[in-house]
């Protein structure tokens, strides 16, 4: 039995998007489940598009998600000599050849084939050049690429895919493909195989868009006398219009950093990504780290494409509603101490953190988070929708202001009177604040809801939330009295 070794090999030409993150997650889960190792390899051979910023962003995104690696990061460009050596080995053993056909010649042949409805593949003009002719062309300085010599066999070339089943093609349908450019730089097809052989990769889990490349790479493994890894090609992640998710087409909404910066919890996003094309075979939606590792298997990956149903212009759901739903679940159920640390970072970023929340007011701080988290979607909500609990400069939403305050002219006198009565309370409790509010409503011959709903609006700025009297006690007597007395400013 070979050691189980997998790899995640992103190209650093942009941020880590959710499709790449899902691939990394599936590799990570498989490695963890089977006691294997996961290698991070940065495939940075595209010098024109690869950037340090992208490399840093990919690594930061993986670290935030908690997808850790046993080896790496390795950089493909550091092993260029290995790629060149492999190409030369293939030439020396007659498994590859130098092709001197120019682009113009190839274009002409393609046009002629189109006109006659012939084969569009390379016609192997240079495959049978004699060594003497090859030397002459080289001596004349004619540029060349190196092509792999596809064996002239009858039958089918194929491999067994752990997700998609048997993938195969007639040998006659496979072109002699280029493995080294005319500038002497080996191409991805070869580099990828050479790196996987060197890194002793036993399992390759990657996107379905690599599926046809794999047929050619099977030939390279064979020619380089290396054992084939186990292949598993995941169906692609598509948007709600069935277009492939990409950095270029969808912008930051598909970037892992977008979720980090918009208050998502790392494990919640992992949970969402895991379900984007995989299921445990039951109705389970939420998984601990240990549960997901234990239940993950390649045979439960769907054969059809996953749909990332994002709604970019929806102010409530900035992304796929399922991602929001899963994030909400973890906000509501995680240990409040852990939530406290995450919210602290948000409060610090907004200048709302008070050191007493970590000392003498820690109980108040954690109880407050526990009280208000049920209606929140992301960590950002604690400093926006929940700002009134930590500061006085909160925004009062227009909808509840119109509905619960401005609609009742009498509140200009009623709420200051309620504030006076609250100020006199020596025991500012849930029971006492409710008793006083209901007694005043009875005296004024108005529905208690008029006072209660208007208090909610002025105390929190929101239309809905926890029990009103829990809110009063949590925010505190002095602040509530002040906010109720200031009702007149909203009628100005």
Task: Quote the CA–CA distance of 177 and 161 in Å, as a whole number.
Answer: 22
- Within 8 A by CB and 6+ apart from 424, the residues are none
Residues 382 and 347: beta-carbon distance below 8 Å: yes
The dihedral of CA 353, 341, 17, 286: what is its sign? Answer: negative
Q: Other C-beta atoms within 10 Å of 464: how many? A: 10
Backbone angles phi, psi at 98, to 5 degrees: -90, 130
C-alpha span between 289 and 479 (Å, rounded) = 42
Output helix, strand, coil percentages for the chain, rounded to the nearest 5: 55, 10, 35
* Residues linked to residue 97 through DSSP beta bridges, in sequence order: 147
Active site residue 32: no
Q: Which of 247, 322, 403, 479 is catalytic?
A: 247
Residue with tokens 């498989």: 30
Chain centroid, CA 252 distance in Å: 11
Helices (H), 143-288: 188-198, 211-223, 247-250, 256-261, 266-274
Closest CA to 371 of 350, 340, 410, 327: 340
Which residues in 83-112 are b (16+ Cβ under 10 Å) and which e? bbebbeebbeeebbbbbbbeeeeeeebeee
How many residues does this entry show for the chain?
492
Angstrom distance (rounded) from CA 211 to CA 220: 15
Q: Residues 360-369, buried b or exposed e (16+ Cβ, 10 A)?
A: eeeeebbebb
472 three-class SS: helix
Active-site residue numbers? Answer: 247
């Amino acid at each position: 039995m070979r050691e189980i070794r997998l790899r995640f090999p992103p190209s650093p030409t942009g941020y880590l998007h959710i499709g790449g993150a899902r691939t990394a997650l599936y590799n990570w889960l498989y490695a963890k489940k089977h006691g294997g190792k996961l290698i991070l390899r940065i495939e940075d051979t595209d010098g024109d598009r690869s950037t340090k910023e992208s490399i840093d962003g990919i690594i930061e995104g993986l670290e935030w998600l908690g997808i850790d690696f046993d080896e790496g990061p390795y950089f493909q460009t550091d092993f260029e000599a290995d790629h060149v050596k492999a190409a030369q080995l293939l030439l020396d053993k007659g498994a590859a050849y130098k092709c001197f056909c120019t682009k113009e010649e190839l274009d002409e042949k393609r046009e002629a084939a189109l006109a006659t409805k012939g084969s569009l593949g390379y016609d192997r003009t240079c495959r049978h050049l004699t060594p003497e002719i090859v030397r002459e062309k080289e001596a004349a300085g004619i540029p060349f690429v190196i092509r792999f010599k596809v064996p002239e066999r009858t039958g089918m070339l194929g491999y067994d895919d752990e997700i998609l089943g048997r993938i195969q093609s007639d040998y006659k349908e496979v072109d002699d493909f280029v493995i080294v450019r005319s500038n002497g730089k080996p191409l991805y097809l070869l580099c990828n195989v050479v790196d996987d052989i060197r890194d002793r990769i036993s399992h390759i889990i990657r996107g379905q868009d690599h599926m046809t490349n794999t047929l050619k790479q099977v030939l390279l493994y064979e020619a380089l006398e290396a054992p084939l890894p186990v292949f598993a090609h995941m169906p692609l992640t598509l948007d709600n219009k069935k277009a492939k998710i990409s950095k270029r087409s969808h912008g930051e909404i598909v970037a892992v950093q977008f979720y980090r910066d918009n208050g998502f919890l790392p494990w919640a996003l992992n949970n969402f990504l895991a379900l984007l094309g995989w299921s445990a075979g039951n109705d389970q939606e939420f998984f601990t780290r240990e549960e997901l590792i234990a239940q993950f298997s390649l045979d439960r990956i769907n054969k059809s494409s996953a749909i990332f149903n994002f709604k970019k212009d929806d102010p409530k759901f900035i992304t796929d509603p399922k991602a929001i739903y899963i994030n909400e679940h973890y906000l509501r159920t995680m240990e409040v101490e852990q939530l406290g640390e995450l919210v602290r970072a948000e409060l610090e970023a907004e200048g709302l953190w008070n050191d007493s929340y970590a000392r003498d007011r820690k109980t108040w701080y954690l109880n407050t988070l526990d009280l208000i988290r049920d209606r929140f979607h992301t960590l950002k909500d604690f400093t926006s929708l929940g700002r009134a609990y930590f500061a006085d400069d909160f925004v009062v939403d227009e909808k509840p202001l119109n509905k619960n305050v401005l609609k009742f002219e009498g509140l200009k006198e009623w709420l200051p009177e309620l504030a006076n009565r609250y100020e006199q309370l020596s025991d500012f409790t849930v029971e006492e604040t409710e008793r006083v509010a209901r007694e005043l409503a009875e005296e004024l011959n108005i529905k208690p809801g008029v006072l209660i709903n208007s208090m909610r609006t002025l105390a929190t700025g929101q239309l809905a939330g926890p029990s009103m009297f829990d809110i009063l006690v949590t925010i505190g007597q002095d602040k509530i009295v002040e906010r109720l007395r200031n009702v007149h400013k909203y009628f100005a």
